[in-house]
Each structure stands twice: as structure tokens, then as C-alpha cells.
Chains A and B, each alone.
Chain A
Amino acid sequence: DIQMTQSPSSLSASIGDRVTITCRASQSSCNYLNWYQQKPGRAPKLLIYAASSLQSGVPSRFSGSGSGTEFTLTISSLQPEDFATYYCQQSCATPLFGQGTKLEIK
């Protein structure tokens, strides 16, 4: 079975920082990799689909890249509303989420 591993599990950063979160698949998979943002007490929200396509309405400071087994989510300049938990999800076969990366303010 494919495993999705995110790193780091948690991250402290400051407003204006550039942040990168990585998602690795245990086996080479298709590029159907999605990223979600979840704020406390809220449902997840789709940010990026198919590894690098920005969902409508999502700020352009969010970007995604990667293929095969390694994918990244980058926030180019952190804003106060970006502090949240981020999840990757592969949709090549059975939908599978990474364990999440909690982004906290430094």
C-alpha cells in the first residue's frame, strides 16, 4: 500500500517567511496530488489539485510542484491567515491523506 508522509510534522515561521512543506509517496504515483488547508474547528479547504493547479479563489502566494514520489507546497510570503494545518492527498487510487503539517507562528 502507498503511504504518504509529510515533512515536517510541525513548523514555526514568521509573517513574510517563505515556507515549504513536502509530501512523499512510498511508491511512485501519478501526479494526482492535492493540498488542503485546515484551520482549527473548520473543515479542510482545497488549495492545490493535480500537484500544481491553484484552486479558484486561492491566493497566488500558494503554489505546488513535484511529480512521482515527491511533492511540495510553497507559501511565498506567510500571512497571518495562513497559520493552519496542511494535508496532502493522493487520488491516484484509493484517496489517501498525509498525516498533516501544523504551521505555527514564531
Chain B
Amino acid sequence: QLQLQESGPGLVKPAETLSLTCSVSGVPIKSSDYYWGWIRQPPGKGLEWIGSIYNSGNTYYNPSLNSRVTISVDTSKNHVSLRLNSVTVADSAMYYCAYGGYRYGYGNWFDPWGQGILVTVSS
């Protein structure tokens, strides 16, 4: 059964780099036809896609965050990483990693999701 678990510091100082890891169990992270995404949710607000990484190694980022975001995979550890540079208070949110499903003619989606990790940006 596929499971995802986010980890990382819950508190980051302004202007520093947020680094999170999503540990994947139940499927090799480099399986073909799938991809991995990061999504965040500020407290009491809606969902915002951060970016995705595909089996090919291609990455796609939300244009509003593009210059600050890096998503990568470590196949030896079977995890997906997120780095967000130069954080501000506005980056405080619950951060989720998710497995990207795809079927030709049906598009793609995120399922399942990890339980999330709350990151607060504060000095």
C-alpha cells in the first residue's frame, strides 16, 4: 500500500530556506507513468499547487513560486524533496506531498496525499 510521509523543520526563519522530505513506501519512486507533487495550504485557506516532478526528471513549478522552488527525487532513499528559498511569513502553511496518477484520456490527479507537515515562518 502506497504511503507518503512528510518530514522537516516545523519552524523556519524569514529569508532562510525551507527544506522538506517526503518518504515514500509501497512503490519505487522511479516507477514509470507516475509523478510526485507538492501542494500547500495556509491555515484556514485553500490549496495551492507548488510543483511536480515526473519520472523523466522533468519538473514543473507554480509560476508564482518558480524562482524559489526546487523539487528533486532521491531514488536511493525513495523520497521526494522540496526546497523553497527566501521564505516569508506568507509561506507559512501545511505542506503536503502527493502521488500523481495519470491515465490517458482521463488526465491526471493527486492521490494519495501524505498527512502533511505544518511549517511556520517566524523569527
- Are A and B associated in one complex? yes
- Residue positions of A touching B, CB distance < 8 A: 30-34, 36, 42-46, 49-50, 53, 55, 87, 89, 91-92, 94-100
Contact B111 A95 (CB under 8 A): no
Residue of A31, A33, A46 near B111 (CB, 8 A) is: A46
Given A30-B107, A34-B109, A91-B107, A43-B114 contact (CB < 8 Å): yes
A-side interface mostly: loop
Given A44-B47, A94-B62, A97-B47, A55-B111 contact (CB < 8 Å): yes
B-side interface mostly: strand
0 or 1 for each of B60-95: is its CB under 8 Å from A? (1 = yes) = 101100000000000000000000000000000000
> Which chain A residue lies CB-closest to B113?
A43
Minimum distance in angstroms from B98 CB to a CB of chain A: 8
- In addition to A45-B111, A49-B106, A50-B106, 7 A-B residue pairs with Cβ atoms within 8 Å of each other are A43-B96, A43-B113, A46-B110, A91-B107, A91-B109, A94-B60, A97-B46
Contact B116 A95 (CB under 8 A): no
Task: Indicate if B115 sits at the interface (CB-CB under 8 A).
Answer: yes
Minimum distance in angstroms from A59 CB to a CB of chain B: 16
Residues of chain A within 8 A (CB-CB) of B63 are 94
A43-B63 Cα distance, complex, nearest whole Å = 24
Contact sample, A vs B, 11 pairs, CB 8 Å cutoff: A34-B109, A42-B115, A43-B96, A43-B112, A45-B111, A45-B112, A46-B110, A50-B105, A87-B47, A89-B109, A97-B46
Minimum distance in angstroms from B67 CB to a CB of chain A: 16
Residues of chain A within 8 A (CB-CB) of B46 are 87, 97-100
